[in-house]
Amino acid sequence: MAILEVMVVGSRARGPMRADARRNYERIVVAAEEIFTAHGADASLEEIARRAGVGSATLHRHFPSRRSLLEVVFRDRAEALCARAREHAAHGEPGIALFAWLRDFTTYAAASRGLVGSLLRDGRDADLLEESDGCAAMITAAAGELLGRARQAGTVRTGVRADDLLALVSAISLASHEGEGEGEGDDGSQAGRLLDLVIEGVRTPRAPAAASASPAAS
């Protein structure tokens, strides 16, 4: 299973809510993302409720099971990442928009990595990682749109594929995590340095500098 695919899963369709119920729902999801990321998929639901400022009964009314809450956390992360792609496309030059979003994707991959790892270790809801509800496709499509604009603008090489870019960035996130603290004087920016190498690799080569004047004939 690809790294991208295990970082995004689906959720059930959400029906209309009253304003107060919607606020509680959103607070729970924000708190769940923070606590699941920090403590793994088996983090305390009671602590999530406290962080959200709601009672346990309210949490369970919105999310009958831990699994249903995990599904929404993954889904919302993917949707937020795609929203960032649209923002970059609307306000940035095509190449800059693509490269800025790849940095967002690096952050997304790093934040999702620990939660995915805890699911795999625990095993209880590990099958949830197999239930892609189009989230991976949604992220790949967002990357493809940015890449297409950059290609049309002549910023990136022909032949670069969106899924290849995402696979590279996912691998960078994983490799950077495994190598944390191993390098003497490591400043924690290995992922950023590796991403810079990827960007330079896909960027259209700059035009060669003008040839210097020919030496005088002997």
Report the chain's C-alpha Rg in angstroms. Answer: 21
User: What angle is formed at CA 71 by the lines to CA 41 and CA 25, rounded to 5 degrees?
Assistant: 95
Q: What is the pLDDT of residues 64-104, one digit of tens each?
A: 988 889 888 888 888 999 999 999 999 989 999 999 999 99
Q: What is the pLDDT of residues 106-148, one digit of tens each?
A: 888 877 776 666 665 655 555 555 554 567 888 999 999 999 9
The answer to whether 149 and 43 have CB atoms below 8 angstroms apart is: no
C-alpha 47 chain-centroid distance: 25
As a whole number of angstroms, the distance between CA 151 and CA 112 comes to 29
What token pair was written down for 65? 């099971």
Q: State the DSSP string of the chain.
A: --HHHHT----PPP----HHHHHHHHHHHHHHHHHHHHH-TT--HHHHHHHHT--HHHHHHH-SSHHHHHHHHHHHHHHHHHHHHHHHHHHS-HHHHHHHHHHHHHHHHHHHHHHHHHHHHH-TTGGGGG---SHHHHHHHHHHHHHHHHHHTT-B-TT--HHHHHHHHHHHHHHHHHTTTTSTT--S-HHHHHHHHHHHHHBPPPPPPPPPPPPPP-
Query: pLDDT-based confidence at 17, cuts 50/70/90?
Result: confident
Q: Which of 70, 75, 71, 80 is nearest to 35 (CA)?
A: 70
User: Is the predicted pLDDT of residue 216 greater than 80, yes or no?
Assistant: no
Q: What is the pLDDT of residues 155-212, one digit of tens each?
A: 999 899 999 999 898 888 777 655 444 444 344 478 888 899 999 999 988 634 444 4
Which pLDDT score, from 0 to 100, does residue 210 have? Answer: 41
Q: What is the pLDDT of residues 24-76, one digit of tens each?
A: 999 999 999 889 888 888 889 999 999 999 999 999 999 998 888 988 888 88
Which pLDDT score, from 0 to 100, does residue 135 have? Answer: 74
Cα torsion angle, 14, 19, 20, 25, sign: positive
Which pLDDT score, from 0 to 100, does residue 217 have? Answer: 43
For 126, half-sphere exposure in the C-beta direction (CA atoms, 13 angstrom radius) is: 8
